[in-house]
Structure formats: structure tokens, C-alpha cells
Structure 1
């Protein structure tokens, strides 16, 4: 290889996509981003008709979760008495919050008739245990063709793209055409549609009746801004930020718009107490008493969020508190646990001791630290516990299964750089994916009470847990079970809203075990330095790290193809199919689209006989927002595009291919989280400078097991990002919700 070896690296995450209330771009880099009309609900592809599909089971589980959340919410006490010194609209809004949380009728000045309709109960989902993995997702029944055609006519009448008809009908349901005529701004419920586009559609349908002060517009823009905040990772946003964003969007009375959204039940408002008067880490205090003394009032902040995320965060807090305060199931004597801990090496023993006496334990560390949860699972299995691990995706599942010696969960089709040598595999703990575990497609199944049939669950890649997934996991654990959340806190946070792992680390409500196992070699040294904000040169005698300087995006694409197809296989011995390209975003002259087109032309040229794909193409399949399954095209027929993802067969119907499948030689860092490849090429074109951050660089560099090439065109923006650009803050309520339920562990 004619490239100089030195230490450096990386790129940045997706650029901020919007100047919304969140003031940040979407956190999800799934293939659905490529199609603005795709909406948020990529459901997946077909499974056997006789089985409950993963997607159906997951949705049913969420409906059950909503019922549990409502019951728990009804039992909660009234909020703290604060904010008495507010006046005007803010005082009215706080009064409404208190009324809603206490179950009383809201004041007429804030909430008027009609009263929101009560939520309909959902049926109990059927989640039988499954001995064999099912396909990752299944197709949900969508709106009828008559509904889609009727919506298409309304869209054409309003000058909107008719291609939005299927997504609009799916978002609004039966009667979508009447809903659009009655409220054209409902078009904002379709993913990718912006307020100015919805305004044009409304003007075409309503004519002179359309105006910026229309209550329907204010309510729809409020909900849209909350959706944008969720895409940026926030579970709620502060009231002042929301009203300021509404003003920027041309809403004349932002307070009335917020109140209208609350009245219609499309958003929820909360008041959270702050620890110190006049200070907040995330937002300015509301209701602060400036006078000091014993009579000083405790300050609060007012937050507004979408119901689904707000209630999920409350359910997550309840479930975690239950684990922390409950006594773990009695299994094995204290002496047995101590013997298991004493036989483990290093901090693995500390992890076993912590799990012996606690229902919730956090474990932090890099790639090498995975050996410690593996040791814990083997010890727990020896003590008679039903022990399972769950990884973020199939690549993480295969890698950890190889570490456990569980070949049943590590299909041969998945390349593993650290595979355990052959021989028979002893019975022991097994590993699933989080999605497969919750859906019942993998893992132990559920008991008669609907809880997961296990005693110990180790969740790997814990920083990737969003609040909805975290809530489902916590509520699915039986009483007496133990939960270990393990992961590297320096990687990118979840694609969905929340920062569950980071919030729990900050809350200090349970034991935290930090691994003392450093990642080895030049790559480990480089990544560890990035984690503490230092980007220094490392000695790489075996060309473990190579920097390839480029002048522009065109040269970046050319050198990337050269590295993957020729230089890395020749000089490092890693074939092209085991090399992963990572770049900051999908668009641009050196984004995933451009790189995948160039790599396909070189590595698997073809006419794209099925939606642009040919047999042998590497792909990234997104069955749901925030989930990416790397795979390969097998073939295509009348049923759809046949893929192999992590050794499992997947069939994507032809109408969903464009929304949920893209080529996968090049991925974004969010798509690559949880995976690890023998060789990685990180591409940093010049236009990526503003997207760089320390977590992105750390994540991208950390995907390489043996070799890292950095196609470097951002000059000093890279060390600047590593040293000075931390993760974008997210507004969440989990620490506040946990505080009154669980005392800090110190």
C-alpha cells in the first residue's frame, strides 16, 4: 500500500437538518431518510401467515404498554406545588398541567370543549414462545386502495405530490381524504413534509379561508416541531423554546397554539422541579423565587412533549425503579456467587459481585470489555439462572455469541474476526437481538404473565436504547429478575429519543462497574485517545492505521474505491466483502449514495434489475426507524427482494424496497453502531467539517477490528471536533422521574 501510516481518523454525524425547536438534526440514519415521503413507520417484510409477525407482536406489546402506563399514571401523586409566582399565559398553562396530572377538569382559560375522547383499551397481545427465529419483520396491513386513490385526488387538487398518497393514507387512516379537506395541515403528519409545503397545500384547498392565525395551523406546527425534536433525540422540549420556534414559523399566538395541542390531546405538558433555584442544566427555570431564605420556592421548568415519548419515559422510570428497589431472585448462596467472582479475572469479578445483590447494574467499557458480561453470563448459568444477552443488531449478536461459544446465534454467513475455534458448543447462555427478544422471535419467550421467561438479562450496546425500547424491556422483566446494561458511553447515542444509558450513569441509582480492560494495539490506543478528546499519532508498524489525504470529494470517492477493492485486500489481507465504508451522511458528493454507486460499479456491476439492486449487492435494510440490518441480495421474484441479513432470510415486498433498502457498502456511523468489521474505511470529505463531533469520530474509528483507513479531506476540523465538539445535548426527563423513586447510590 502506498499510503503513509500514521494515527488520525474520522468524520462527523449527519448535519443538522432543521432549525426547529430542537435546533438539531435527525438522529436516525436509517434508509427511510432517503425518501422524504416514506414517513416514520417502516414496518418490515413478510413472515409466515400462521405466525404472529415480529412487527405485529411489537405493536401489540406497545399497545399493552400504553395500558400499563395509563394505570401507573393514574396512581401517581399530584405534582409539587411550585410556580405560584407565574402570571399570564404561563400561569394558565401551569394550572392546566396540574389539572391534567391530578385528573381534574382543566381551567376554561386553557382547555375548552370538546374534551378529548377517552383512549380505547387494546386487546392483550398473543406472544407465544418461538423455538426458531422468524423473519425480522412482516408487512402490516395498510389502507385500502380506495382510500389511497381518494387521498391522491385531494393531494392533486392541492398541488401536493401524488406520490405522498400511500404515506398520507397510512398516517391518517380510513377517511384520510375527509381529514385532509377539513384540516389540510394534517399533511404535516407525513414524514418529510415541511410547514411551508403544508401551507401551500392549505392555500390551494382553503383559498381565502387560509391564514397564518388559523388554529389548525398552529396546532399542526406545534406537533410537527415536537416530532422534529424527537428526531433530534429529545423526549420533550422547554416551553420557551417551543414558543420561540412557533414564532419563527409564523404562528401569531404561540401560547394559544400550544394550548390547542394540549386540549386535543396531541401533546402533554409537565413541570419538573429543579435542584437549585435559578439554575438548570438544560433549560431556564420557570417560577423561580428570587428571594432567598426558608420560604423560597423551588424552581420548576415547564416541558411539552409528544404523548408516546413522555409516557414511555415515565414507564421506563417506573420499571427501572422496580428493579432497583426489589430483591433479586434467590438463586445460589452468597458463597457460590463469591466463588464465581473470585474465579473471574479483573473487573469481571466486580461485575459478578454487583449482580449478585442488585436488580440493576451498569457496566461500561470498550470492545475488550465484552469478555466481562460473557464471564457473568457463564457464571450465572452455572448457578442455575436462566441467563440471556441481547445485542443491538445481528452483527453484535454474532460477535458476542462467538465470545460466549454459542454458535446457534452466530451464523456462519456473518464474518467474525474473533471467532472461537471449532469443536462442540456446550449448552449455556444465549444471545438475541433486542428487537427479536421483545417481539418473541428470539430468546426465551414469555411466561403466563407476559413477562420474559428469564432471570438475568444483559443488554449490550446499551447507549442505543431509546426510551420506548427501554420501557418495553423494563416492563417485560419479571419480579426478581436482574438487568445489566452494558456499553461504551462514548459512542453515539440512540437513533430514537432519549439518552437512557447516559441518564442512568448520571443518576447514580445503582452499581456502576467500569471495565479495566483496554482495547489492545494501535487501534485501541487511537480510539481511547479520541474518547478523552485527544487525537494523537500512534505507532502502526503493521499499517493498522493509515491516513489517505484527499483534496476534494471526487478524489475521496476514487481513493475509497481503490482502498476497498485493491489496497486493503493486497496489503492487509482483508477482502472487500469484509471491509466497511463509513461516511458522515447520505447526501453530498461523498455521501453513502455516491460511494455506494461507485463501489457497486466496481465490485458488483449490474443493471439493477429489481429496484436498482442485483444479486450479490451489499445492502442496509431498515425494517423500522433506527434499526439497520446489514445484508446481501440473494435474488428477486414476484414476492419481492430476497435478502440474507445476519444469516436469516428476509423478503422485502417490492412496494417497500425504495423506502427501506439501500446499498450497504457504505454506511453512516449510526447505521454502523453495534457492528465491527476486520477493516473499515472512514471517509471525511471537505463538506463534512460541520458534521464532525467526538462521538461520531469515536464510533466510526471503533468499528475497525484490524485495520482503519481514513480518507482525510477536512484538515484541522478533525482534531478540533475531537477536542472541542461533544455530543449534542438532549432534553430528557428520566433523571427527574427517577429521583423521587430511587435514592442515589452515592
Structure 2
């Protein structure tokens, strides 16, 4: 029997209404995208776009920075990301001169490619290139004697420019020749640049670089343009396919894939010689190859095989050493992040903290530049108190959350900002004269939601001497983007780890704490803070969910419908977000849906950038687009982005909801969701309600099994190994 709250029985009413609530890695597949939220974290990467023409985790057109004249938050964030990524690349390139191998690469990324070619040619052994040089000296941190009155404001971020009309027109003509949708022209021009039309005509498979385009579509486009000249083994096709496979893996959370997995994916796409295809892509600089762990496993003297895949078999008697393939953007981000974290970790004691309150957390920050702070919702107050203590000492401190919802929950006294606002320069302390954030302490809450690229930009922006505290709950779902930054930092033991001893209060806190250690416990719920609603099928699950949100929860607990969120496993299915939102709209805000499928008063999930969800309400619509109220901020979504960037938002997936909480949450577990459940999903979903949690339960014993046995699917990342190598070399 599934554990129930003590004092409650299946089917018993939450109030006097008989209808009221009753108590309660494999590499990504090469074919169709999944429509559930129960995997690696990719489900949250497409909060408003899955099954609307976009790839998993990416909103088509989301990278154009917006089309309005004003600088939107999304446009500012994306522009800031491009600017910071360029700064990272420039800094790494300054460590050495660019190497000819891989004409588009420079610095360490080019070094890695040159190393691979040297190994393939037999000029050197595979281990000669895996020693990472120490990072270049950085500017010293300022040592203010008194509190800084006000940090210099950041320079305004300019929105990204849309592709020129003539470029779009030229691309549209090529797409028309190949039978591809001409509506893709603007996206293609944005992704491929000013010469997009020529690039497409020469290499039609470059169409795969556009989010949402699938290999079979690119194959048809290539056949239409090239005729008999193209085939399944065409080198242009294989290079594009490898990039597509690795990018798809990134949407599943991986920053790299084992070479064997890539070759298998190519074989599924009828590539005749997958080994040769991989070697060609490496030689062209399209992908990078890594032999992580080679030294530890004793594979440094392994002989190369005929295909130059040194180390994959390892030394005699040793376990095979995984050979990883990755895209340069994620390799660059992980290496930059590892360098930055190691730089912070090397920071010694800071005497400015000697008069701080003698707590475990302040002592750790006083002695170390990098600290991990773990705990649940209640632990956030400890991190906020740390920032307050820093300000009392005259230090410049900031608290950053992953979501606006999380920032607002901290209250106005915390002075918190969002990570996106901090990076975009729209919130926070601004930058110093060297371009670094003007901070002595940065506390990042919701650290498990940081993907590797965002984390790299954040760490790169910190000056030497700045203290960084990564805080968060290790039990929640990982980031929507590539990487598992917080988990890798903890696993590498790169810094002191301070575990909060403050438990989350109430029956919900007790229930979620048990789930975190693999136990689905009974909890005392005298006020029916936790109730379970058993259902037989998905149709009943939808019916009971609508009843809970519209009637039972508002009357029994005083929580209005707008303060209740429904959490379900995926977008598709008979009880996914689409089915639930359709039913909830019909009950809560019926209307003609004449504004791109929406009406004033609709709850929506807005995706300002890939991997981010902002809940909001539709206010009105006009020629400019849909006007939303998102957590108190007025946002206009242009008409051409409504279809790709908005979903109805009464019901969300757990990945969309991570980092946010509401007064009440209704978690829907239909029978067809059983295989998608794991401990981190249940932990995250059940923790979204502050005062009340209803569980619409149709998975029987699959729920306790998922909590006890189903751990998150592993992600292939390199950050842990990079950090361990850097910190070990420091000790040596």
C-alpha cells in the first residue's frame, strides 16, 4: 500500500464536499523527441515550445533576442551571454597563440584538437596533452576600507540584431528550391549568418543547426538541392549528424558523449562507416575528443588502433577508458568553469570576515573562496543571513536566485536578484572598471539549476578574492541545460560543504525530507496539509484535478485558484499539461481563444529564453502582441513569438516548476506516468506546495518504488574530472 498521511483515508473528503480532495544514461534516442518530463532534465528546457515546431529545450526563434525596439529581459540576457562568452574565448586565446588545427578554434579548444591530431599521427602519446596549465594571473580584488556607496552601473546591453532582410530573402529562395518551409528563413539566417544562403546551397545539412529541424527533413532538403550527388555517407551529412546528436545530448543534460554512443547513433541513421565519420568530424574540428580518466586508469601507454582511437581499449589488464566526444561550446564552458572554480577555491582566508557572527557558514566563507551550502527551502534563510552579515561588515554582497518566483519568496529585505538579471546587467551591483561584478560575496541559491554555460559566465564575471557560495537542494531535478554543475562540485569535493540543519517545517517538509532519502513515509497531517486522491484512469485524474483547483482547495484551505499550480509528468498524454490546461481553461477562464489561442485572464508559461519558464497572466492583446503580467513585471510577447514562446500555464511539468513554489500544489500521477518517475522528480514535484499538497494518485506501487529505487539518469559531464585534476595539481 502506498503510504498515506495518518488520520486520512483514501477517498475521504478534504472538507464537507463529497467531491473534494481525498488525503494524501543512455544517449538520447536518435528518433522522435520525448514528450515527458521524467528524464534527465531536458523536459524543462522547452517550457513553452515542445511539439510546436521546436527542438527539445529550445524555442525556435528564441535566440534572436526579440524583435521589439525595447531591450527585453530575454534579449538583454542573450546579448550579455554572447558578450561574456566572447570574453571567455578571448581570455583563453590569450594563453597561447591560435593553432592552425580547426580554423574556427583558438586557445585551449584548438590545443585539444591539435593534440588529437598529434596522437592520431603517432607523433606523441595520448597522455602528453592532458596536463592543464595553471590559469593566467588575474586582477586582484579590491579591498575597500568602508562600504561602497554605490556600484558603478552596468553599461546598457544592446539587443541582438535580426538578420538583414536581404539575407532572409536569399535564404527563403534556397529553402523554396529544396522544398523546406520558407517560414524557417529568419531562423536560418540568424543561425548561419550573412552568408546563410550560400552555406545552405553548398551544405544543405547545415539546416540541422536550426532548432527543431530533424535529420530526415534535412536529408529531404539535401536530396532536392543536390540530387544524386548526396548519399548517406556524404561527409557533410555525417559531420552535421554528429553535431545534431551531440546537441540533442546536451538537451538531455550531457556535455559530452562516449564515442561508442555517437557511432551507434550514426549507424541508426544509415551512415555506412560510423568510425570514419567520427574521425573525419574530429579532423575537421567539428567535435573535440577527450580521454578523461586516462592517467588514473593506466591507459597512457595504450597503443593506437588503425583508426587512431588511442586509449579506448586502455592498457593491458585495465578497464576500457571511455573516449568522449563533445562540442567546443560545452568543452569551452566546462574548462572555463573549472578554471574559475579552482581559482576561487585557491583563495585563502580573508581577514575582513574576522568580525562576522561565528556561524558554521561564516567561518567557511572566511577561510575559503568557494563554499557549497546544501539544504531545503528553510536553508535559504541561512544564505540570506550570510549576505546580510557581509553587508554589515562593509562588504559588497548579492543573493541571486534562479527564478523571479524564488526571488520574491525571499522578501524585499533580502535584496535578491535573479541570475539572468545579474548577468544581463539589469539588476545587481553592476560591473567594475575591469568588467567584473562589483562584489565581495555572491550567494547563488537554486545552484542545481545552473547549466554549465550559465555557471561559466557567472564565475568568469567574479573578481579574485570574491567569495562564492553555491547553495541549493541536491535532491531536486538538475538543470534544464547541459551539465550538472552543483552535483559535480559536490562530488569533486572542491570546497567545504556546509549542510544546513534546519529542516523544512510541517507535514509537507517531513514528507519531502523522507523522499530525499528514499522513503515514502506516512506523515501526520491534522490540517490535511497533504491529501491523496486515488484515481482509476487518466480521465478521472483530469476531472479530479480540475475539481481540486477550481473548488475543493479554495474552499477547504482558502487558497484561490490562481495561487494553485498543477504539476504533471509531461506535456503529452491523456493527463499531460496540454490535456490538463485545456480542461482547466474551460472551467476557470472559458473564452474564444482569439488571441493566438489565448484570452485575457489565461494563466500562461512564458519562455523568455531556452530552459527558463516564467509564469504569467494574459492582460490584453494588440498589434504589438500579447501583454502579460509575469510576477509583477509587464512583458509584451511579439505576435510572431506567441506560438513558440507561450503555453497555457495552469499545469506545468516538474522541470518547469523547479525553483518555484506556490501556496498550494496539485501533483498529477496518471497510470501512464509510472515509467517516467524517479526520486528527484517526486522530490521536486511534492515540494512545490507551501501550505497544501494534493496528490492525484493513479500509479499504485510505482510511486514508492520510484522513491526507493529510481535515481536520476546519469549525465555525462567532464567538470568533476577537470576540477579534481586542477585541485590535485595545486596540491602537488
TM-score interval, normalised by the smaller of the two chains: 0.7 to 0.9
Alignment partner of 2:566 out of 581, 592, 599: 581
CA deviation map 1:81-119 (0-9, x unaligned): xx99xxx9995599798899899xxxxxxxxxxxxxxxx
Whether 2:391 is the aligned partner of 1:386: answer: no
Aligned to 2:365: 355
**1:729 match:** 714
Provide, for residues 464-515 of structure 1, a one-character-per-residue CA deviation record: whole Å limited to 9, x for no partner.
0111111111111111110000000000000011111000101112100001
State which of 534, 543, 546 in structure 2 corresponds to 1:561. Answer: 546
Alignment of structure 1 residues 295-314 onto 2, 5 Å: 300-314=321-335
Distance 1:441 1:89, change over 3 A: closer
Q: Which moved more, 1:31-40 or 1:258-267?
A: 31-40
| Residues 515, 572 of structure 1: alpha-carbon distance in 2 compared, 3 angstrom cutoff | same
Correspondent of 2:273 among 242, 245, 253: 253
* Cα deviation digits, residues 51-103 of structure 1 (max 9, x gap): 993432332222222222333576879999xx99xxx9995599798899899
For the residues of structure 1 that align with 2:711 and 2:66, how far apart are their CA atoms? 34
**2:537 equivalent in structure 1:** 552
Does structure 2 conserve the Cα–Cα contact (< 8 Å) formed by 1:459 and 1:484? yes
| Cα separation, partners in 2 of 1:303 and 1:655, compared to 1, 3 Å | same
Tell me how far 1:397 sits from its aligned partner: 0.6
Would the alpha carbon gap of residues 647 and 723 (structure 1) be closer, same or farther in structure 2, given more than 3 Å must change? same
**Structure 1's 79 and 654: CA in aligned 2 closer, same or farther, altered over 3 A?**
closer
Q: Which residue of 2 aligns with 1:108?
A: none
Counting only pairs closer than 5 Å after superposition, residues 308-327 of structure 1 correspond to structure 2 as: 308-327=329-348
Q: Distance in 2 between matches of 1:361 and 1:46?
A: 40
Cα distance, 1:618 vs structure 2: 1.4
Q: How far apart are 1:669 and its partner, in Å?
A: 0.9
Separation in 2, partners of 1:597, 1:263: 50
Instruction: Answer whether contact 1:17 1:26 (CA < 8 A) is retained.
Output: no
Query: Is the CA contact (8 Å cut-off) linking 1:69 and 1:314 kept in structure 2?
Result: no
Q: Counterpart of 2:458? A: 473
- Is 1:699 the counterpart of 2:690? The answer is no
Corresponding residue number in structure 2 for 1:143: 163
Q: Is the 8 A contact 1:328 1:482 kept in 2?
A: no
Equivalent runs, 1:590-605 vs 2, <5 Å: 590-605=575-590
**Corresponding residue SS for 2:324:** strand
The structure-2 alpha-carbon separation of the partners of 1:317 and 1:528, relative to structure 1 and needing over 3 Å to count, comes to same
Cα distance in 1 for partners of 2:349, 2:61 equals 38
Counting only pairs closer than 5 Å after superposition, residues 361-510 of structure 1 correspond to structure 2 as 361-400=371-410, 402=411, 405-406=412-413, 430-510=415-495
SS at match of 1:605: coil
Q: Is the 8 A contact 2:351 2:366 kept in 1?
A: no
Deviation for aligned residue 1:233: 0.6
- 2:389 is paired with a residue whose SS is helix
- 2:42 pairs with one of 22, 26, 49: 26
Matches within 5 A, 1:76-155: 140-155=160-175
**Contact 1:77-1:102 within 8 A present in 2 as well:** no
Mark the runs of 5 or more structure 1 residues left unpaired by the alignment.
8-14, 104-127, 293-297, 342-348, 407-428
How far, CA to CA, are the matches of 1:360 and 1:291 in structure 2? 39
Partner of 1:57: 80
- Deviations, residues 518-558 of structure 1 (Å, cap 9, x unaligned): 11221111111111111232221211111112222222222
Other-structure match for 2:221: 201
**Deviations for 1:313-341, whole angstroms, at most 9, x for unmatched residues?**
00000000110112355424x2x13xx12
2:316 to 279, 285, 290: 290
**Is the Cα–Cα contact under 8 Å of residues 92 and 108 in structure 2 kept in the other structure?**
no
Q: Tell me the alpha carbon deviations over residues 134-183 of structure 1, each in whole angstroms, 9 at most, x when there is no partner.
A: 9xx98633223443343334333333333333322322222323322221
- C-alpha deviation, 1:579, in angstroms: 0.2
Cα offsets for 1:661-709 (capped at 9, x unmatched) = 2111111111111101010011112221221111111100011111111
Distance of aligned partners of 1:54 and 1:26 in 2 relative to their CA distance in 1, 3 Å threshold: closer
In the TM superposition, residue 285 of structure 1 has moved relative to its aligned partner by 6.7
Q: Is the 8 A contact 1:618 1:631 kept in 2?
A: yes
Aligned mate of 2:240, from 220, 224, 227 = 220
* Structure 2 residues without counterparts, runs of 5 or longer: 1-13, 98-106, 133-149, 300-309
Bigger Cα displacement from structure 2, 180-189 vs 433-442 = 180-189
Aligned residues of 1:329 and 1:455 also touching (Cα < 8 A): no
Task: Give the 5 Å matches for 1:653-732.
Answer: 653-732=638-717
In the aligned structure 2, how far is the partner of 1:21 from the partner of 1:658? Answer: 19
> How large is the Cα RMSD of the aligned pairs?
3.6
> Are 1:165 and 2:185 an aligned pair?
yes
Q: Which residue of 2 aligns with 1:66?
A: 89
| Corresponding residue SS for 1:623 | coil
Q: Deviations over 1:4-59 (max 9, x none)?
A: 6544xxxxxxx976569999783523213242245374434646369993432332
Say whether 1:637 aligns with 2:648: no
Note if contact 1:6-1:545 (Cα within 8 Å) is conserved in structure 2: yes
Per the normalisation by structure 1, the TM-score is 0.82
CA distance in 2, matches of 1:745, 1:263: 33
Within 2, Cα distance between the matches of 1:516 and 1:694?
22
Q: Is the 8 A contact 1:498 1:732 kept in 2?
A: yes
2:3 match: none
In structure 2, C-alpha distance between the alignment counterparts of 1:259 and 1:238, rounded to whole Å: 14
Asked if the contact 2:398–2:416 (Cα under 8 Å) also holds between the matched residues in 1, the reply is: yes
Q: Which residue of 2 aligns with 1:273?
A: 293
